Amino acid sequence: MPKPNAVTLSRRERQIMDIVYERGEVSAADVVEALPDAPSYSAVRALLRILEEKGHVTHVEQGKKYLFRPTQPRQAAARSALRQIVRTFFGGNAARAVTTLIADDESDISDEDLDRLTRLIEDAKQGERTDGD
For range 78-96, the mean pLDDT: 90
Statement: residue 128 has pLDDT above 80: no
- What residues does 69 pair with on adjacent strands? 58
pLDDT number for residue 4: 66
For range 49-70, the mean pLDDT: 95
Q: Which of 48-57, 71-80, 101-110, 117-126 has the highest mean pLDDT?
A: 48-57
The C-alpha atoms of residue 107 and residue 103 are separated, in whole angstroms, by: 8
Residue among 57, 67, 63, 71 at smallest CA distance from 28: 67
CB of 91 closer than 8 Å to CB of 77: no
pLDDT number for residue 77: 84
What does DSSP assign to residue 65? E
Which of 26-35, 41-50, 63-72, 74-83 shows the lowest per-residue confidence on average (mean pLDDT)? 74-83
pLDDT number for residue 129: 66
Confidence of residue 132 (pLDDT cuts 50, 70, 90): low
The C-alpha atoms of residue 112 and residue 95 are separated, in whole angstroms, by: 20
Domains and CATH numbers, the chain: 6-70 (1.10.10.10), 95-127 (no CATH)
Q: Please report the beta strands in the chain, taking only residues with DSSP state E, as ranges in sequence order.
A: 57-62, 65-70
For range 40-48, the mean pLDDT: 97
pLDDT number for residue 17: 94
The C-alpha atoms of residue 6 and residue 63 are separated, in whole angstroms, by: 30
